[in-house]
């Protein structure tokens, strides 16, 4: 297995946490998200648990369904519509700065 830097792991973990938050707010089941996105249930589960980093293809299909931007999932954008208040671990930025 490929070594992952601490910074990359933090990005992966934050993306997984934000996907979980967006998914829970959507009210959809994993089966519904899978059907709407065309992404397999087991793959979505691995994204939500941080076992697999979400791909650009997956973001392109999941974000519209979950009503969030890919920038928010990746931590580039700090707040999503209806996002947790500033200062929450899920709203802090990723990377330097």
pLDDT at 81: 55
Q: Which stretches within 4-86 are classed as H helix?
A: 6-26, 30-37, 41-48, 56-66, 70-74
What pLDDT is stored for residue 80 in this prediction?
57
So what's the pLDDT on residue 78? 73
Q: In the chain, which residues have pLDDT < 70?
A: 1-2, 79-97
Rounded to two decimals, the pTM is 0.74
Res 7: pLDDT: 84
């Amino acid at each position: 297995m490929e070594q992952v830097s601490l910074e990359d792991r933090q990005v992966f973990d934050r993306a997984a946490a934000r996907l979980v938050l967006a998914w829970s707010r959507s009210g959809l089941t994993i089966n519904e998200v899978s059907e709407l996105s065309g992404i397999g249930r087991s793959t979505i589960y691995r994204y939500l648990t941080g076992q697999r980093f979400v791909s650009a293809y997956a973001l392109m299909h999941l974000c519209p369904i979950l009503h969030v931007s890919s920038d928010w999932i990746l931590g580039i954008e700090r707040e999503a519509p209806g996002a947790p208040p500033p200062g929450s671990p899920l709203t802090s930025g990723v990377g330097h700065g």
